[in-house]
Chain A
Amino acid sequence: MKKILFMIFLAFSLTGCVNVNPYILTKGQTSLDLTNNRGVALFTLKVDNSGGGRLFLSSFMAREVNQYKPYNTLGVFSLPLMPENYSAIDNLYFCSVVLGSGIYRLDSFNGMVNPFFAMPPALKIDKIFDIYPNKINYLGRLHFSNLNTQSVFTSLNSIEDTSEQDILKFKEIFPVLKDKQISRDSFY
């Protein structure tokens, strides 16, 4: 009986280890399946936080935009940010989205700041992007110039095309992209 319980416990524990979110790229990923009309969008995020405490971003949210589906059936994707997504040297988050081809709205980034009484920030983006079938596109660098830790929402400052340096770093962080062609596209 003890053995059975132990096996069940082990099975549950190991399930957690291999449970990878299918909507993002990961460091250890060795293959990228873009069949069935799936595609990838890549972008970076920079937050200038001169005055406040350290910022920990944990996830971002993307919402499906599809005029042909009822509003209450549209997908909402909460996408986690893993340690490999943050590059401390560049102070940049390297974000990826792997979804079915279609139109999506990048809603916001969510996270925490270390001062105990500060509000958990939500970085509001509200920008549309496309996922094309079997394509990997770089969309740009989102820039928040002044994070206000006292405010619930901070708005986006600018979007820049820094594809040359960002794509190189993406390939370094996610080896699965190494030999893949990455095109440029934009948020709108």
Chain B
Amino acid sequence: MYLRVVKIILATFIVSSIISPVFAKEAQNPNSEEVKYSPKNLQDKDAMQAEMDFYAGNDHEAELIFTGLKAKKDHNIALWNNQLGSLYLTQGKPKEAKDVFMESYVLMNDITAFKNLELSSVGLISSEMTKGYKGDPYEKVFNSFYVGMLLYADNDLENALAAFKNGILCDSDVTGKLYKSDVALMYLMATRLELMQKNQSMADDFFKQATEAYYLSHPDNRLLVSQKQGLLDDLDKKQKELLEKEAKANVKLEKVINTLKADIGKLETDIKSVEDKIEENNRKIAINTLKDFINPDNNTLICIETGRGPLKYQIGTYGEKTIFTIKPYPAVGFSITIDNFTQIKAGGFLRYNDVFYQASTRGGRVMDSILKGKAEFKQTTADVSNVLSTMSQVYDPYGVLSIFSFATESVSNATNPYADARHWSLLPAELQIISLRLNPGTHQLQINAYDAAGKAIESSKINVEIMNTSNNVIFKRFRGVES
């Protein structure tokens, strides 16, 4: 009997000595950073605080939250990694940024990753948010860009080229034909890498595509490209309709067929007219910056990331649709003063690497039609439920219809049409890049940001170490932190 009591006491002592240190920290200081931001105390919704901390300049808090969320290794891990990557680049930690972007890169481009979660999100009852985050095409493009740039800076040129080619491939995963592969930056980096590896013909091909992409996404052409895409969609619709009618060919349809042919002729004329205007604009767009960018004699790329990336949020009666908006950032131009002596002004920068434009021209994914179906189902069941409920009050003294109504309402409430609004919100709004030749050694760069009126609105001084190689990369983020 005594032996049993002694055994129990001993066992209790051993167990408590193992468990107590785990809770000790929490008991001593429940508000300590370690406890507050530990994975078990963090929820996905806390990421909003991290986001706001980042844009308020509280990088330390933002890092603690995103690191804690990443440690949970859940279905959002690629999102937390991307957010952390942007944060690390802002803090001037390229090695840490490369590691987390690489982790995301693997998950975002692996079609088998999170497969079970993706299958369950297609069902009527579960939300799209439950699937593993892999990002929209524009997010994949920019993840590939950062991976490519950081590998390039590490002298891993072959893998860097593979990352840029992957980005080009991701950019082709869009609905509108004209918006396919219009990120000039990816082609320019591929050109630069091919030139460094002495592959002149490949470099020429990439440069040709870079020029086309640059013209296509240039602000002077954006409206015209959008018009042309609309006309092409209409033309496609009319041509399909014409084929259907001609297959049925009978006298009654002759008038309809003639009208369709006239419409198609008009659309073709309109498309030609828009193409002529684009061509005229292209002749006026200077491409000197593109040539400077790929010049291998320029050993340094300075990437200025500006503002705040696109915000994606839900709209519609049931939050079944998502739209993008952007917070305007006043800086439009930059100057760089090197060692208090040489000043480089706006003209030399490669501009128009506009994340919002890339995000907003990449809609129409398969998931949108599934979500539309869910919203329609929710509307129908909600309507049936309301009608039955009203009927039951008038005609159903025994409550049979009420039970049925309640059951239908339960299904309606359980149906989950909410669109997935998860997005890489720490991305910048725009990237401006300049390619320069700097002598090896330490340099001080003063970068000034100017608004449209030419007034300096933000300024930053950084010391950089230029290596005796041709692949130095410097990132600097201007995010409009409120003072």
Contacts and interface: CB of A to CB of B under 8 A. Distances in A.
Interface stretch (A51-59, A62-70, A112-120, A170-178): A62-70
B49 interface: yes
B423 interface: yes
A23 interface: no
Given A132-B55, A133-B58, A186-B328, A71 B314 contact: yes
Interface stretch (A81-89, A90-98, A101-109): A101-109
Given A183-B483, A188-B325, A70 B47 contact: no
A102 B56 CA distance: 11
A185 B318 CA distance: 30
Given A67-B422, A69-B44, A132-B482, A37 B313 contact: no
A67 B312 contact: yes
A133 B52 contact: yes
A135 interface: yes
A137 interface: yes
Given A132-B482, A135-B482, A183-B483, A68 B44 contact: yes
A175 to B, nearest CB: 24
Contacts of A103: 48, 51-52, 311, 313
B327 interface: yes
Contact of B47 (A37, A68, A71, A130): A68
Contacts of A158: none
A128 interface: yes
Contact of B313 (A65, A72, A130, A135): A65
A185 B482 CA distance: 8
A37 B49 contact: yes
B226 to A, nearest CB: 21
A128 B310 CA distance: 12
Nearest to B312: A67
A132 B422 CA distance: 20
Nearest to B53: A133
Interface residues of A, number: 25
Interface in B18-67: 44-49, 51-53, 55-56, 58
Nearest to A102: B48
Interface string B292-336: 000000000000000000011110001100000111100000000
Nearest to B480: A185
A136 B453 CA distance: 27
B470 interface: no
Contacts of B423: 67
Contact of A105 (B56, B313, B482): B313
B46 to A, nearest CB: 8
B328 A188 contact: yes
A133 B49 CA distance: 8
A72 B418 CA distance: 8
B82 to A, nearest CB: 13
Contacts, number: 78
Given A65-B311, A66-B45, A188 B327 contact: yes
Interface string B423-453: 1010000000000000000000000000000
A183 B326 contact: no
Contacts of B422: 67-68
A37, A71, A135: residue with the most chain B Cβ atoms closer than 10 Å: A71
Given A67-B423, A70-B127, A71-B319, A183 B49 contact: no
B180 to A, nearest CB: 27
Contacts of B48: 66-69, 101-103
B314 A69 contact: no
Contact of B52 (A70, A72, A132, A186): A132
Given A128-B325, A133-B56, A68 B482 contact: no
Given A132-B56, A133-B52, A68 B45 contact: yes
B346 interface: no
A172 to B, nearest CB: 24
Given A102-B48, A103-B48, A67 B313 contact: yes
Given A101-B49, A130-B52, A183-B483, A67 B325 contact: no
A130 B45 contact: no
B318, B325, B423: residue with the most chain A Cβ atoms closer than 10 Å: B325
Contacts of B45: 66, 68-69
B421 interface: yes
Contacts of A67: 48, 312-313, 421-423, 425
B347 to A, nearest CB: 29
A135 B418 contact: no
Interface in B52-90: 52-53, 55-56, 58
A67 B323 CA distance: 12
Interface string A154-188: 00000000000000000000000000000111101
A128 B127 contact: no
Contacts of A70: 127, 129, 418
Given A133-B58, A135-B56, A188-B327, A183 B482 contact: yes
Nearest to A187: B327
**A-B interface, 3 closest residue pairs, ranked by CB to CB distance from nearest:** A71-B319, A71-B418, A101-B52
Given A68-B45, A103-B48, 16 more contacts: A37-B52, A66-B45, A67-B312, A67-B423, A68-B46, A68-B48, A70-B129, A103-B311, A130-B52, A132-B52, A133-B49, A133-B58, A184-B482, A185-B482, A186-B327, A188-B311
Interface of B: 44-49, 51-53, 55-56, 58, 127, 129, 311-314, 318-319, 325-328, 418-419, 421-423, 425, 482-483
29 contacts: A37-B52, A65-B313, A66-B45, A67-B48, A67-B313, A67-B421, A67-B423, A67-B425, A68-B46, A68-B47, A68-B48, A69-B45, A69-B48, A70-B418, A72-B418, A101-B48, A102-B49, A102-B52, A103-B313, A128-B313, A128-B327, A130-B55, A130-B327, A132-B482, A133-B53, A133-B56, A135-B56, A188-B325, A188-B327
